[in-house]
Structure 1
Amino acid sequence: MDEDARLLALSAIAHRSRLAIFRLLAAAGPGGLPAGEISAQLGIVPSSLSFHLKDMSRANLVSSNRRGTFIYYSAGLDAIHGVIDFLTEICLADSARTPFSR
């Protein structure tokens, strides 16, 4: 995952609704949830949910697959691990040498 992809994922997850969607999908596991279930559980209207899922999909934070007439969404754990690695590398690289001030 290159730096631009990591920044795109970080930007996409930095929104209250998208973070809630990601948390719900991560808890649901690899089977994911259908869009209607996500909408119902989080109280996000379908048009807004569609917008957020599209943005998250572009950042590889969610993947989708069709099962019959439903589209199931799953959390993109590789992308979020890439964001965590990126933040660790750029923000904490010198933390072992420089103690945090409190």
Structure 2
Amino acid sequence: METKSAITALAALAQESRLAIFRLLVAVGPEGLAASKIAEELEVPSSSLSFHLKELSHADLIVARQDGRFIIYSANFSAMNDLIGFLTESCCGGNPCGPSASPRSATKKSVPKSAAKSVVKA
């Protein structure tokens, strides 16, 4: 993914309603949802929903397909994975890593208060 595409995708997701729409579409999977169901689920007015769907579509984060008289929107999982790859391509200095290597998953060792105070004084 090119930097410009990543910026466009991140900008599209940097808004509460659009992020909620995208997360909902990721959760429902490839089958997607009709705009009316998205609006109902997220309680977003249809007038603003169409604007948000356009922005997500412009960023290539969602795709639309005709299903009878409905337009079904679904997450573009390929673009999502490209964005994740772009954000993590230099993770851990390019060495293979995963969630288990993240600092959050490591158990924190307790540091005695006296040791913590001596480090602060130094």
TM-score class, shorter: 0.7 to 0.9
Q: Give 1:80's aligned residue.
A: 80
Return the TM-score normalized by structure 2. 0.71
Computing the radius of gyration from Cα coordinates, the structure with the larger value is: 2
- What's the offset of the Cα at 1:94? 4.4
Determine if the alignment matches structure 1 residue 33 to structure 2 residue 52.
Answer: no
1:86 deviates by 1.7
- Once structures 1 and 2 are overlaid, which stretch shifts more, 53-62 or 74-83? 74-83
CA deviation map 1:40-97 (0-9, x unaligned): 000000011000000000111100001111000000112222221222136x45498x
Compare relative contact order (CA 8 Å, sep 6+) and give the higher one, 1 or 2: 1
Summarize deviations over 1:12-56 as a string: whole Å, max 9, x none: 111111111011111111110000000000000001100000000
Unaligned runs of 5+ in 2: 96-102, 104-122
What's the % identity of the aligned pairs?
47
Aligned CA-pair RMSD? 1.8
Q: Which runs of 5+ in 1 are unaligned?
A: none
In structure 2, the residue corresponding to 1:74 is in which secondary structure? Answer: strand
Secondary structure of 1:31's aligned partner:
coil
Report how many residues are paired. 96
Residue 67 (1) aligns with residue 67 (2): yes
TM (norm. structure 1) is 0.84
Superposition misfits of 4+ residues, deviation over 6 angstroms: none
